[in-house]
Structure 1
Amino acid sequence: MTTTTPAADRGAFLRNTALYVARIIREALPAAHTMTVNTSDQTLHEVRDQAGNVLWFAPASGAHALDEHLEEIEGLLGRAIPLGGLTAAGWERTPEGTMFRTVQLPPPARHARAYVRHAGLVADVHADLHPAEHASFTLDGPDGPMREARDRVRAAIVNSGYDLPHGALTVACHGTGNPGSSGDLAIAAAILAAAGHINPRALKRTLLISELGLDGQLRDPRVDLRYADICGGYRRLIVAVPAAPADAAYPLIRGGSVHAAIDLRQALDVLAQPLT
């Protein structure tokens, strides 16, 4: 059993907080490069681009997209600063007076999103790969860490001949429930897309529903696929090889196509093909 020290847990919390704050800011301000924080009252003071131009300043700059996220950002800062603050998270810092500190936002993450749909489940898989000195891989679902799925996916990727991406890899499943093993293929595809093995755009309008064996083989997750396209708009479904031909076994995607794959590599080959 792997154990961690309080110092390591604190460092991981601070790094993850830093990455998440940067992601929130960049969603509203894609050109954001630095932020200035008032460390006395633990509030966001200013955001600038790489050239030093002010993109946002406090008090709120009016009807700005970032304003609606201020409460969340400052709540995170309020929890992080007393634990060692921004420098403990590895952020570069330059002093600006006694209270104000300017930190450079971490480099943008590479992001990919995959989709799992079947009876009783609507789930999206988000994979974010951030530059980091040490490799890490966390996988969380609506109910907390998905350790068994993480181990299956990790082994399937490596045994299929791919390298796990170097950096801080965070994968999260959001939706109506925990996808369990039916989300393995979507998780692996999102990771490999974030790592650059396939174009993240290849995952759009595609459903990925399969368990993964440790050897990378696709397995039937034994879920009801009749409602896979319940949300509509999907053009492609990739599943494990069934006993009958794919289209006969799974007549599920109206106006689209169904593909049965043997293993992870074959599934990625299908994803590389343009949608018809």
Structure 2
Amino acid sequence: MADTLNTDVVTAALSRATARSARAAEVARLTFLTDTVAYAARLIRDALPTAAAITVDTTNRELHEIRDAQGETLWHAPTSGPTHRFNDSLVDDVDDLIREAVPFGGLAAAGWKTSAKGFPFRDVQLPEPPPATRHARAYVRHEDAVLDVHANLAPADQPSLTVRDRFGKTMREAGDRVRAAIINAGYDLPGGEVTVDLFGAGEPGSVADLAIACAILSAAGHVDRAALKRTVLLGELGLDGRVRVTDQTRDGVRFADLCGYKRVIVASTAATTCPLIPGGHVHGVLDLRQAIDRLAQPITD
């Protein structure tokens, strides 16, 4: 860039503006190449989910090879035929992206490393795939409500928690109680977008809090989702994570038995006074962490 110390004001201003534009162009080029690789990775993984790296022929501006994380070849341009899972249509789509990207230059700065094959081949690491949406289901059963609690955890830039009743209306108080209980029980609120929907019949009331929290933590990986399948969870959550008995708890245990469930988890203060479940168990827990620990244990007949 020209020396601006001994130039007039206009020339100096233009010099600085040109330097800013050059920096902006470099950032834009890097962003373009990064986005191009991310787009190509999505197209490739539709057919080859384990793809981790590619080799690009920068002279012919086309894809040359696809490899997995262990370096095993998944697709090779000279040898993979038209019947390969990564078919000609997908190859053409990726080649179109490469043809647009290569002329912009700046490949080395964007991580397109010179391949061991030598010029004109470049090795490009594909970005890590985003985590898939995870799902868990818990159950609330009592005489006033027969509800399935569905928790979905999806990738998102900012964490959020939304709890909705069977009509799609946001249950703000339940969401606030559950959020505080999860945190105060010593768990991190899952990163990403957490959406909890209640499906079924009846009004859940606060007795659904425990099921909502356990479904969220199961979706986040703290307990096996299969552990929830034969279990009914009944209890209001305090902000400190304690499980509280409600007016619906005892009747809920009886109703869960009628529905065929073999394990019911309730507040410890209610467990001894709840009806027995023939061939099953009613477990009392003090708090949310104890409930998660109990879910991790197998159901005994």
The two structures have a TM-score, normalised by structure 2, of 0.55
Letter of the 1:231 partner, please give it.
C
Letter of the 2:266 partner, please give it.
V
Judge conservation of contact 2:140–2:148 (CA < 8 Å) in 1: yes
Q: In the aligned structure 2, how far is the partner of 1:266 from the partner of 1:231?
A: 25
Which residue of structure 2 lines up, in the alignment, with residue 76 of structure 1? none
Which of residues 244, 262, 271 in structure 2 aligns to 1:235? Answer: 262
Which residue of structure 2 lines up, in the alignment, with residue 125 of structure 1? 149
1:157 aligns with 2:192: no
* Percentage identity across paired residues of the two chains: 59
Q: In the aligned structure 2, how far is the partner of 1:171 from the partner of 1:114?
A: 10
Q: Deviations over 1:183-238 (max 9, x none)?
A: 00000000000001111111110000000000000101211323223322x11000
1:208 aligns with 2:233: yes
For residue 141 of structure 2, give the secondary structure of its aligned residue in structure 1.
Answer: strand
Which residue of structure 1 lines up, in the alignment, with residue 206 of structure 2? 181
Judge conservation of contact 2:144–2:203 (CA < 8 Å) in 1: no
Letter of the 1:258 partner, please give it.
V
For residue 188 of structure 2, give the secondary structure of its aligned residue in structure 1.
Answer: coil
Which residue of structure 1 lines up, in the alignment, with residue 279 of structure 2? 255
Judge conservation of contact 1:117–1:229 (CA < 8 Å) in 2: no
Q: Deviations over 1:43-95 (max 9, x none)?
A: xxxxx98118xxxxxxxxxxxxxxxxxxxxxxxxxxxxxxxxxxxxxxxxx8x
Give 5+ residue unaligned stretches, structure 1: 1-32, 35-47, 53-93, 95-105
For residue 269 of structure 2, give the secondary structure of its aligned residue in structure 1.
Answer: coil
Q: Please state how far the C-alpha of 1:251 moved relative to its aligned partner.
A: 2.2
Which residue of structure 2 lines up, in the alignment, with residue 51 of structure 1? 47
1:222 aligns with 2:218: no
Letter of the 2:141 partner, please give it.
R
Change beyond 3 A, Cα 1:263–1:207: same
Q: In the aligned structure 2, how far is the partner of 1:259 from the partner of 1:174?
A: 25
Letter of the 1:262 partner, please give it.
L
Q: In the aligned structure 1, how far is the partner of 2:198 from the partner of 2:276?
A: 23
Judge conservation of contact 1:112–1:200 (CA < 8 Å) in 2: yes
Q: Please state how far the C-alpha of 1:178 moved relative to its aligned partner.
A: 2.6
Q: In the aligned structure 2, how far is the partner of 1:178 from the partner of 1:251?
A: 23
Which residue of structure 1 lines up, in the alignment, with residue 291 of structure 2? 267
For residue 290 of structure 2, give the secondary structure of its aligned residue in structure 1.
Answer: helix
For residue 259 of structure 1, give the secondary structure of its aligned residue in structure 2.
Answer: strand
1:108 aligns with 2:139: no
Judge conservation of contact 2:140–2:234 (CA < 8 Å) in 1: yes
For residue 217 of structure 2, give the secondary structure of its aligned residue in structure 1.
Answer: helix
Give 5+ residue unaligned stretches, structure 2: 1-41, 49-92, 94-129
Count of equivalent residues: 179
Q: Please state how far the C-alpha of 1:131 moved relative to its aligned partner.
A: 1.0
Q: RMSD of the TM alignment (CA)?
A: 2.5
Judge conservation of contact 2:144–2:204 (CA < 8 Å) in 1: no
For residue 176 of structure 1, give the secondary structure of its aligned residue in structure 2.
Answer: strand
CA radius of gyration, larger in: 2
Which residue of structure 1 lines up, in the alignment, with residue 18 of structure 2? none
For residue 133 of structure 1, give the secondary structure of its aligned residue in structure 2.
Answer: coil
Q: Please state how far the C-alpha of 1:121 moved relative to its aligned partner.
A: 1.3
Which of residues 124, 131, 134 in structure 1 aligns to 2:158? Answer: 134
- After TM superposition, the runs of 4+ consecutive aligned structure 1 residues lying more than 3 A away are none
Q: Please state how far the C-alpha of 1:252 moved relative to its aligned partner.
A: 4.2
Judge conservation of contact 1:129–1:170 (CA < 8 Å) in 2: yes
